[in-house]
Amino acid sequence: MRKTLGLVATAATLAAGLFGVSAGASAATQASSYVPGTIRPSASQAVQDAALMKYYDFWKKNFLTTKCGSGTYAVLSKDADHSFVAEGEGYGMTIAALMAGKDSQAHAIFDGILKFVKLHPSVNNKDLHAAEQDGNCKSVNGSDSATDGDLEIAYGLLIADKVWGSGGTYNYKAEAVRVINAIKKSEVNSSTKFMRLGDWATDSKYTNSSRSSDWMPGHFRAFEKATGDATWGAIRSKHEGAVSSLQSSYASSTGLLPDFVVNTNSTPKPAGSNFLEGPNDGKYSWNACRDPWRLGADAITAEGSAALNQVKKINTWIKSNTGGDPSKIVTGYSLSGSKLESDKHPCFTAPFAVAAMTDPGSQAWLDKLFTSITSFSPDATDYYGTGITVQVLIILSGNFIAP
């Protein structure tokens, strides 16, 4: 997944016609209003929508497959350890639901991914999704769950309910509540209210650990609204407090969060090297790169969100660190802001644009980020960066729907 992507000289333009998508559609009529003070790119709506459609078309062409059975769609994770991973299916469901107003195929794609997900339940909780499938569409590597995938699957179902209602082939609201309740049962530590890494993470090493990119306040807010379960409000508050604590104690000058957090049963702190995935587990790396997007999405859609000041810290730092030049954003940082690598990747650049939307004084910076993001040449093997970029562009272009 660590690769350098080349830049093209001009801003993104739409090549219409892929998979029957119509070009140049205006912002979705059901899109959520952003809170006062939120800024958006200065480019015209047509330019913003064209950039979104370019990446969406590319994502559909290169990462969707129907090979896994009649009536199914699945998102290929070409740059992951396995052909299909849970977060990719979750991203696919969210993207399809959010693109309902622009793509006549979006509903079929959503239902096809949902069918694939339901065909691959976790061995630990049948209402969760087995996290990995091989090239033959068979669940592998223990057939247990990954929290980030299940969180996104449930969130996508709530968006689908808002967009299409729940009277069709699937009752999206009931499906969402089913998954949300399973997440609470098997992926939330009931003692600490922190998200676990998956339904497998119950042993002494992992039970009090978490992934900062699973700390999605907007998702927890939506889950509480959908279920009426106040526990989700307490879960959101617990994670909001941990973000502030980690920023204060370990990243006072940057606001950056680590990929993995330990000691969630006492005072949370960054994980050590090689805790789960590699030497940068306690740094701002390939998981935490999503944090500005997740925190920023809640900050711009929920009045009074605790994420507002948290993500503003990150925005202030990255704008200063780069001198306002997005081309200087690299693939990873220590929590104090030192560069880990010199490569560039859209999953690090794009989320900072959502953070920039929270600061009325960052218009020029946001415009540069938009140009940079839409000038990346999409990589047909990079499902991760492409999927994140599509979702960021949905937010930037005003097409986001917060359930």
Residue by residue, pLDDT tens for the chain (403 residues) are 323 333 333 333 333 333 333 332 333 335 889 999 999 999 999 999 999 999 999 999 999 999 999 999 999 999 888 999 999 999 999 999 999 999 999 999 999 999 999 999 999 999 999 999 999 999 999 999 999 999 999 999 999 999 999 999 999 999 999 999 999 999 999 999 999 999 999 999 999 999 999 999 999 999 999 999 999 999 999 999 999 999 999 999 999 999 999 999 999 999 999 999 999 999 999 999 999 999 999 999 999 999 999 999 999 999 999 999 999 999 999 999 999 999 999 999 999 999 999 999 999 999 999 999 999 999 999 999 999 999 999 999 999 999 9
Structure token digits, residue 20: 């029957």
Please, which contacts does 201-206 make with residues 24 or more away whose CB atoms are closer than 8 Å?
Answer: 206/276
The pLDDT of residue 30 is 59
Domains plus CATH for the chain?
Answer: 18-396 (1.50.10.10)
The pLDDT of residue 14 is 31
Structure token digits, residue 113: 């991914």
Which residues are within 8 A (CB) of 259 and not within 5 positions of it... i.e. 6 or more apart?
211, 212, 213, 271, 277, 280, 281, 282, 283, 284, 285, 286, 287, 288
Among residues 283, 361, 348, the alpha carbon closest in space to that of 316 is found at 361
Q: From CA 384, how far away is CA 212, in angstroms rounded?
A: 17
The pLDDT of residue 80 is 87
Q: What are the residue numbers of the active site?
A: 87, 148
Q: From CA 346, how far away is CA 387, in angstroms rounded?
A: 10
Let me know: does 128 contact 145? Beta carbons within 8 Å.
Answer: yes
Q: For the whole model, what pTM was predicted?
A: 0.92
Q: Which amino acid is at 230?
A: A
